[in-house]
Chains A and B, each alone.
Chain A
Amino acid sequence: MEPSLAGGEDQALLAELRAGSEAAFARLLREHGGRMLAVARRLVRDEEDARDAVQEAFVSAFRSLDRFEGGSRIATWLHRIVVNCCLMRLRSRRRRPEESIEDLLPRFLEDGHQIPPAVDWSEPVDALLQRQEICALVRASIDRLPESFRTVLVLRDIEELSTNEAAGLLGITENALKIRLHRARQALRTLLDPHLRGAAR
């Protein structure tokens, strides 16, 4: 993420926003809107929902300008509002019965050995990322995770919220969040494994 506005510029923009300048609000949208829409697409996936969540987030940000204390950057503040709007949207969406994650978790023999044993992914991440199909594979695999696991993985490993923040937003304990994140990573690992195991190409 590139810092688009320095602290001083943030302050100047904030002053204009508080004065009710539509031009300043339009600048805020052009400056941050693209990235916020990308965040919303990752979380809610549906394009219409993502656009609605972003619209709601910006209007809500505008309403709560007085409560923004300038302790964080505008980008960080907006990011949290977008994440929150997306989570509310996910919560209110009619829930389909969630697929079980059990089939994607590692299995063990009674003596505690993993079965089948794990196989090396010998290619380094840098090299993997040079391959165009890998990025699409990772994204598609994340999309295959059951919703509550996918959400936690996106919040922690992609949006980089802290355990405390993510747990607070989801209304679960930090420990429950850590375990759900672990299972989500394990399941994603299982989905990627057939493509990445073995020798480098």
Chain B
Amino acid sequence: MSEKPSGKPYIPCEEVVTFLWAYVAGELPAEKTSEFERHLAVCPSCVAYLDSYRKTIELSRESFQPGSCEPDGEMPEDLIQAVLAARRGA
């Protein structure tokens, strides 16, 4: 594999940010992945964006785990009774 050391233009931030989902999911072709990484090596803004994007995904998941904020709790008794009654009628 020959690496072009210089001359090849960097892909723009817009391309990195627009296709970040594919980069994060590991769905980019190898050649694109290395273009992304070449860009990330020189662009603090995209590095910050990538990191905060990943944290956003993690925060979504973690904020709804049982025990975070409020627990899932139990099903209210009146709803249990309503479902049992609906089942009898079903």
Residues of A within 8 A of B (CB): 1-2, 22, 25-26, 29-30, 33-38, 42, 51, 54-55, 58-59, 62-63, 106, 108, 111-114, 117-121, 125, 128-129, 134-136, 138-139, 142, 153, 157-158, 160, 178-179, 181-182, 185-186, 188-189, 192-193, 196-197
In the assembled complex, B3 has its CB within 8 A of some CB on chain A: no
In the bound complex, do residue A139 and residue B63 qualify as a contact, i.e. CB atoms below 8 Å apart? yes
Report the interface size for chain B: residues with CB under 8 A from the other chain: 43
Residues in A with CB closer than 8 Å to B88 are 22
17 chain-A/chain-B pairs, Cβ below 8 angstroms: A26-B80, A33-B74, A34-B74, A51-B79, A54-B75, A55-B86, A59-B83, A62-B87, A62-B90, A114-B14, A125-B55, A128-B55, A129-B62, A139-B63, A185-B53, A192-B56, A192-B59
In the assembled complex, B1 has its CB within 8 A of some CB on chain A: no
Chain A, residue nearest B75 (CB): A33
> Total A-B pairs in contact (CB under 8 Å)?
152
* 33-79 of chain B: CB within 8 A of chain A: 44-46, 48-49, 51-53, 55-64, 66, 68-69, 72-75, 79
In the bound complex, do residue B73 and residue A38 qualify as a contact, i.e. CB atoms below 8 Å apart? yes
Main secondary structure on A side of the interface with B: helix
In the bound complex, do residue B52 and residue A59 qualify as a contact, i.e. CB atoms below 8 Å apart? no
Q: Told that A55-B82, A182-B21 touch, could you supply 7 new A-B pairs with CB distance under 8 A?
A: A54-B83, A108-B17, A111-B12, A121-B52, A129-B59, A134-B59, A185-B60
Residues in A with CB closer than 8 Å to B17 are 106, 108, 114, 186
